[in-house]
């Protein structure tokens, strides 16, 4: 097992890589009641291993990342008489982690909480960083908090039951981290992603570990996203718009978003064309989409971009690449976005 430590203004996290979910309870030591929040699918697979915990189940899926689910969980916490001696643990993918972090940060003005992410996407990204929110009226993560979990336990064995499509989505975020902050990890992924995909131990551990190092470095420097943290949004401005309008899974949508951002990077940040091609080749090799198919509704994608909460005037501040492993924030005009979105369709 390897351990990482993240320190940020809202709190510190211990991140255990390669730890068994069976040891989850030992990280909640000294607590009163331990309440695990999970979804129906994860409960079916791992519920029997959450010994000594009360379990609250939510419905799976992005459609349930809502204030309604939050209310349901508040009510169950009240029924269980959870109080300030309790610890809350989210066991599941990114949606479970987001809901758990939000609920735990607001119930009784905040209880200690941790995560046991069971998807690759949650292990390399969603469980770490402290942003936890819910969707509201079609706006993604529009209501939320920033508060670091006390711990995050990544059991690689839980990835064995993950469908290939979900593994690919996790790889999209790992590629993003490599592209914005670690050229060596990018090269490693080019040569070894198949080994990591098949969960060869040293390969998956390196991908999760190095990916998290990029994220942790950025979050520690700029937890509240005043500047540098915006680099973690590489591929997300256009990706979120695609996700919202096509219903495509998050990782697939940001794969296309990264290709679009790389195109903009070539024209605006002198990203060498061959670096943009390397990004495209890696994502394609992993089996992620790099273009919108004919079903993608150009106008609705553009409309969603215009409504993006990060929009400033007629432009958007976006993370772009200067090279593999180097990113910066640049202002992109809506007209420039329109041109690449047109290209992608």
Contact string (CB under 6 A) for ligand GLY, positions 76-115, x = contact: ----------------------------------------
- The CA angle 214-207-26, to the nearest 5 degrees, is 85
Residue among 42 and 341 whose Cβ is closer to ligand GLY: 42
- The DSSP-derived string for 239-266 is HHHHHHHH---HHHHHHHHHHHHHHHHH
Residue among 45 and 145 whose Cβ is closer to ligand GLY: 145
Site for ligand GLY in 129-148 (CB under 6 A): 129-132
CB of 146 to ligand GLY, least distance (A): 7
Site for ligand GLY in 109-128 (CB under 6 A): 126
H or E segment to which residue 318 belongs: strand 315-323
Residue among 39 and 263 whose Cβ is closer to ligand GLY: 39
CB of 219 to ligand GLY, least distance (A): 7
CB of 269 to ligand GLY, least distance (A): 23
CB of 340 to ligand GLY, least distance (A): 25
Residue among 136 and 195 whose Cβ is closer to ligand GLY: 136
Q: Residue 313 burial (CB < 10 Å; 0-12/13-18/19+)?
A: exposed
293 DSSP assignment: -
> What is the number of the residue whose Cβ is closest to ligand GLY?
129
CB of 131 to ligand GLY, least distance (A): 3
Segments in the chain forming alpha helices (H): 40-46, 67-79, 94-106, 120-121, 164-181, 183-197, 201-221, 236-246, 250-269, 273-286, 298-306, 334-344
Contacts to ligand GLY by CB under 6 A? 126, 129-132
């Amino acid at each position: 097992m390897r351990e990482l430590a993240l320190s940020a203004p809202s709190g510190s996290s211990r991140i255990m890589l390669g730890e068994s979910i069976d040891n989850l309870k030992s990280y909640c030591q000294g607590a009163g009641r331990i309440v695990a929040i999970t979804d129906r699918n994860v409960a079916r697979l791992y519920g029997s291993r959450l010994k000594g915990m009360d379990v609250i189940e939510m419905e799976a899926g992005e459609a349930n990342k809502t204030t309604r689910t939050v209310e349901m969980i508040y009510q169950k916490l009240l029924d269980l008489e959870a109080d300030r001696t309790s610890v809350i643990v989210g066991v599941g993918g990114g949606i479970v982690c987001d809901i758990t972090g939000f609920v735990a940060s607001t119930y009784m003005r905040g209880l200690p909480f941790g995560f046991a992410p069971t998807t690759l996407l949650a292990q390399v990204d969603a469980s770490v960083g402290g942003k936890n929110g819910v969707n509201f009226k079609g706006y993604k993560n529009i209501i939320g908090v920033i508060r670091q979990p006390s711990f995050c336990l990544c059991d690689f064995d839980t990835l064995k039951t993950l469908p290939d499509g979900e593994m690919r989505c996790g790889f999209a975020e790992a590629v993003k981290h490599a592209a914005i902050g670690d050229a060596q990890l990018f090269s490693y992924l080019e040569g070894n992603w198949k080994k990591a995909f098949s969960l060869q131990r040293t390969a998956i551990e390196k991908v999760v570990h190095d990916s998290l190092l990029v994220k942790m470095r950025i979050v520690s420097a700029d937890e509240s996203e005043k500047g540098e943290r915006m680099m973690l949004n590489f591929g997300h401005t256009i990706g979120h718009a695609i996700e919202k309008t096509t219903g495509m899974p998050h990782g697939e949508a940001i794969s296309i978003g990264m290709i679009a951002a790389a195109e903009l990077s070539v024209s605006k940040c002198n990203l060498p064309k061959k670096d943009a091609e390397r990004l495209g080749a890696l994502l394609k090799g992993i089996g992620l989409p790099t273009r919108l198919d004919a079903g993608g509704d150009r106008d609705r994608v553009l409309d969603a971009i215009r409504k993006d909460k990060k929009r400033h005037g007629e432009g958007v501040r976006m993370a772009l690449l200067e090279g593999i492993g180097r990113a910066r924030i640049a202002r992109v005009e809506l007209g420039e976005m329109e041109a690449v979105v047109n290209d992608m369709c």
